[in-house]
Amino acid sequence: MVLWISGSFLAAAAAPWAVKRFPRHAGMILALWPGLLFVWFLSVLPRVGQSPVVTTHEWIPALGIRFSLYLDGLALLMSLLISGIGSLVILYAGRYLERHPDLGKLLALLLAFMASMLGLVLSGNLLLMFVFWELTSIVSYLLIGFHHEDEGARRSALQGLFVTFAGGLALMTGLILIGSVAGSYEWRTILDSADAIQASPHYPLALVLLVVGAMTKSAQFPFHFWLPNAMAAPTPVSAYLHSATMVKAGVFLLARTHPVLGGTALWTALLGTAGAVTLLLGIWLAMRSTGIKRVLAYSTIMALGTLTMLIGVGSDKAIIAAMAFLFAHSLYKGALFMIAGILDHQAGVKDLTRAGGLARRMPVSAAAAGLAALSLAGVLPLFGFVAKEKLFLSIFASGMAWLTPVVAIGAVLTVGVGALVGIQPWYGKPVATPRPAREPGPSLLAGPLILATGGILFGLFTPVVDQYLLTPAASAVTGHPVTPMLKLWHGLNLALATSIASLALGLLLYRWRTHFRHMTRFSDALAARGPEWLYDRMMALLVRVAGWQTRMLQSGYLRHYLLTTLLFVVACVWILLARSGQALHIAFDLTDIAIHEVMVMLVMSASAILAATSGSRLGAVAALGAVGFTVALVFVLFSAADPGITQVLVETLAVIMLVLVLFRLPRFLKLSSTRVRVQDATVAITLGATFTVLLLLAQDQRLYESISAWHIAESVPSGYGRNVVNVILVDFRALDTLGEIFVLALAAVGVLAMLGLKAEDKPQ
Amino acid sequence: MKPVPEHSLILRVTGLFILPLLILFSLFLLLRGHNEPGGGFIAGLVAASAVALHMFFTSVEAARRMIAVDPRDLIGWGLLIAIASGLAPILSGRPFMEARWIEMTVPAFGLVKAGTPLLFDLGVYLVVTGTVLAILFSLAEDDVQ
């Protein structure tokens, strides 16, 4: 399984190349990889039904983080959706954005997303799962901002990123709490310590944090607002990430942790409320929207709310209803998003009110849209019907009476939304479209057609899907084997009656949709002060605080920074010395000092003084150079050849650079007043004195044995080198050196940027 | 940066001879650095000085042409090589940056030891050369305008 995930990342890396090489068929070629994955996941279907497939590799043993993968029924259901829909979406995207200059980037990101999402659902370690969780957020950010020249898209991308990252932080804290209670981040261990976790005093906090993470990712109220805005992404992205897979990650997390965290009153209250509110809000806003993708986005929010609510209820019936609903929703919503893309691509239609009577020109698309919409509305014999029936039955049996009207109202509005997307653009009076409508080619139609017919096939063969796919998934979520119970026909019962009533009412609602929108205008005023408004206010506040802080701390003058840094260092050193409470005992031992050493010292000091007091720039530079060379001499005197050579070379190159800049500097002027100069001198002398004292103290009192001896002893046996300095640089402390060369490279970038800036400023 | 006037014939002629020697010397310093004074940092500085010298007795363009690659690319390649040398041990299941050595007997050289630290030092060499040259060139080019 590790190979499948890493292979997907490799496929992502190969995508730009494939687009360059086969510009017309890149989508088709790249779709083969997810297709292959899909077949593999299908092939393990019978095996996973028996027991989970587990693989483990050590990753960071010191932190207990293992690269372990855990494929059970739930992970398999998600993986099949991710790879199957992924394959169709990539095929679709290759044609949808054909000849777009960034097609390679899009396909690469889609494949990278698929890899991350697979990693997320297959992880058998909480922290590994978190890594993939964040990866999906990052890829989603890049994909929402795909049209990066559009300011709205950039804003939406950042909004999605901030909301999901905020949730991600909460989630991480929650996961660490769970891990610390269970004593391991391994899923299998945690599964066994469910009782200990629920009994722990950390349980409520851990649960709330985890649920917040899931809610941001799965766009639950009040974090729902980023999802409709994420529709700024190209349509294949919306179909894949923002309806079929990524937004289900939150629901997946809840389902995954249900056997450990679920079943308590807090769990049911939190998820039941959040889910019910999100359900109603989502479908309400969907019915009020006219932009095709917005309608679909809001109805996705409704679906996510339903799933959260069902997992909150947590009975066997509710869980299997959730699995069926999740499966059905991925099929029809993926299809509908791709249809929305077809409408945009083939006719330029983005808004429902701008389309009508298109079925005559695009009969196949209309049929696919109709099938998907029927599944959405939950009409017999489509799979959506099965899911909806089970949803009703589980809610009626849950004993939470207040949920009944919620699902009933939700069902009516859902039928209305189904009609909006399944009827309005296709039938009735033809409306002139921005572009003459034309049926698309097979690459664009394959996705919606396959997914929509899947809806009817799976509906007809409900028991098969149930036994092989949904029951194993539900068993993984409940934590005990569940008996298959899904049927297409449940007989005449209350659920069926509710279904029929909601169908009739929903169609009436569709008939009176303009009146409905008119009558419900009041909710716009509420939305204007909703969570998104709050988000905007918080972001504005953040920017203001950052601006104020920057103005306070960053004066922009190098001398101020230097002064602050140096004085801070001096203060730290003296405070620490004072606190250590030791008498300053400094022993000077001048017995074996040689005359040439004294001379070097004198030359160095004289040069330093000259550099500080020189009246000309050239004089100061020369004096500084002299200081540098005497330092090199000191190195040589103490037989440190490498630092000596380096010092000489650096001094030489410094001279070359100074030659290049010197005569372009303004005339050397004394700009500072005497007072400032005295102040500078005081700081300089204090710093020098501090360091002298520090060095003498360090020389005098050794707290630890010097490491030099070890370095010298180990240089040849473990470093394979006789030059200790070099062995330290490239072997013993190579990580430090790596950091240093990165700093060096950054400094070069900075210098180049500044020089470039100057060249641009020059008047031509 | 104006070319050096005609009369500094001595500088140009000696520069022509010294340049290849300095580059060779820098490689020598790089290779022997593990056992004798030298190493990537010093060698990089020597190489940069050599090119700087060339720049002084010809022109920036000539110096750029001579090293044939953009010094900024050298920085990138250097960092990549350094990281790659650190990643290499991971392939054999060792921690990041742990030194790996291969000993082999090469005809005419005798026993040769090659290892990831040498590769790492090469990365340092390239970063140092690239940084110094990138700054020098852009300073000198700024001058021409």
10-residue mean pLDDT series, chain A (764 residues): 86 87 87 92 85 84 83 92 93 88 90 93 92 93 90 90 93 93 89 89 93 92 88 88 87 93 90 92 88 91 93 90 92 92 88 84 90 89 89 86 88 90 86 84 89 90 88 89 81 83 88 84 78 89 92 82 90 87 69 86 92 84 89 89 89 83 74 83 92 82 73 77 81 86 91 74 48
CA closest to B46 among chain A residues: A649
Tokens of B15: 């520069």
A126-144 helix and A248-261 helix, angle to the nearest 10 degrees: 160
Residue B134: in which H helix or E strand, if any? helix B116-144
3-state secondary structure A513-553: HHHHHHHCCHHHHHHHCCHHHHHHHHHHHHHHHHHHHHHHH
Task: Indicate the number of domains in chain B.
Answer: 1
Which of A642, A741, A760 is the best residue to mutate to test the B interface, defined by the most B CB atoms within 10 Å of its own CB? A741
Q: Which residues of B touch A650 (CB under 8 A)?
A: 45
Q: CA dihedral in degrees (A231, A233, A237, A240; nearest 10)?
A: -20
Q: Say which amino acid occupies B41.
A: F
CB A726 to CB B113 under 8 A? no
**Size (chain B), residues:** 145
Contact B138 A748 (CB under 8 A): no
Distance between CA A141 and CA B140 in Å, rounded?
42
Distance CA A122, CA A126 (A): 11
Kindly report the nearest CA distance between residue A660 and chain B, in angstroms: 6
Set of chain A residues whose Cβ sits within 8 Å of the Cβ of B86: 734-735, 738
| Residues A425 and A343 sit within 8 Å (Cβ to Cβ) | yes
Nearest CA in chain B to A639: B37
Structure tokens at A225: 């607002």
Q: Measured between CA atoms, how close is A254 to chain B, in angstroms?
A: 35
B143 confidence band (pLDDT: 50, 70, 90): low
Helix (H, G, I), strand (E, B) or coil at A315: coil
Residue B4, in any domain of the structure = no
What are the beta bridge partners of residue A351? A291
- Do B142 and A759 count as a contact with CB atoms less than 8 A apart? yes
In a domain, B1, yes or no: no
Query: Residues of A607-627 as b/e, b for ≥16 C-beta within 10 angstroms?
Result: bbebbeebeeeeebbbbbbbb
What's the confidence (pLDDT) of residue B142?
A: 66
Q: Which residues of A touch B75 (CB under 8 A)?
A: 745, 748
At position A223, the amino acid (one-letter code) is F
CB contact under 8 A, A731 and B117: yes
pLDDT of residue A33: 92
Contact criterion met (CB below 8 Å) for B131 and B72: no
**Closest by alpha carbon to A259, among A337, A193, A310, A352?**
A193
Provide φ and ψ at A294, rounded to 5°: -70, -40
* Contact by Cβ (8 Å): A54, A124: yes
Q: Nearest chain A Cα to B74, which residue?
A: A745
Tell which wins on pLDDT, A685 or B115: A685
Q: How many CB pairs under 8 A join A and B?
A: 138
Token pair for A65: 């983080």
Q: Quote the tokens at residue A287.
A: 């019915």
**B115–A720: do the CB atoms touch at under 8 Å?**
yes
Check A735 against B97: CB less than 8 A apart.
yes
- B121 vs A731: CB contact, 8 Å cut-off? no
For residues B26 and B47, is the Cβ–Cβ distance under 8 A? Answer: yes
Question: Is residue A416 within 8 Å of A513, Cβ to Cβ?
Answer: yes
Contact at CB, B117 and A759, closer than 8 angstroms: no
Query: Across the interface, do B34 and A722 touch by the CB < 8 Å criterion?
Result: yes
| Bridge partner list, B101 | B115
Which residues of A lie closer than 8 Å to B, measured between beta carbons? 641-642, 645-646, 649-650, 652-653, 656-657, 660-661, 664, 719-723, 725-727, 729-731, 734-735, 737-738, 741-742, 744-745, 747-748, 751-752, 755-756, 758-759, 762
Mutation to test the B interface, candidates A664, A724, A726, A762, most B Cβ within 10 Å: A726
Structure tokens at A98: 């054909």
Between A549 and B108, residue with greater pLDDT: A549
Task: List pLDDT tens digits, range B80-94.
Answer: 999 998 888 888 777
pLDDT at site B110: 67
Task: State the Cα–Cα distance between residues B125 and B74, nearest whole angstrom.
Answer: 9
- Give the burial string for A572-604 (b: 16+ CB within 10 Å, else e): ebeeeeeeeeeeeeeeeeeeeeeeeeeebeeeb
Cβ–Cβ of A738/B86 closer than 8 Å? Answer: yes
Using a CB-CB cut-off of 8 Å, the residues of chain A touching B130 are 745, 748
Domain interval for residue B137: 9-144
Looking at CA atoms only, how far is residue A8 from chain B in angstroms? 20
| pLDDT above 50: residue B1 | no
| Percentages of chain A per state (helix, strand, coil), in multiples of 5 | 75, 5, 20
Round to whole Å and give the CA distance between B141 and B70. 14
Written as one letter, the residue type at A384 is G
Provide long-range contacts, Cβ within 8 A and 24+ apart, for A635-644: A637/A596, A637/A597, A637/A600, A640/A725, A641/B37, A642/A723, A642/A725, A642/A726, A642/B37, A642/B38, A642/B39, A642/B42, A643/A725
- Identify the pLDDT of residue A436: 84
- What is the identity of the amino acid at B38? G
Q: Identify any residues that bridge with B72 across adjacent strands, giving them in sequence order.
A: none
Q: What is the pTM of this model?
A: 0.73
Phi, psi of A461 (to 5 degrees): -105, 40
Please tell me the distance from the alpha carbon of residue B121 to that of residue B142, in angstroms, as a whole number. 31
The stretch B3-11 carries a mean pLDDT of: 63
In a domain, B40, yes or no: yes
Q: If you ran DSSP here, which 8-state letter would residue A242 be given?
A: I
Pairwise CA distance, residues A368 & A336, whole Å: 8
From the list B101, B120, B127, which residue is nearest A744 (CB)?
B127
Tell if the CB–CB gap between B123 and A722 is shorter than 8 Å.
no
Runs of H (alpha helix) within A224-315: 226-229, 235-239, 248-261, 265-288, 292-313
Asked if A298 and A316 touch (Cβ cutoff 8 Å), the reply is no
Largest CA distance in chain B: 62
Distance, CA of A260 to CA of A118 (rounded, Å): 22
**Do the Cβ atoms of B37 and A742 come within 8 Å?**
no
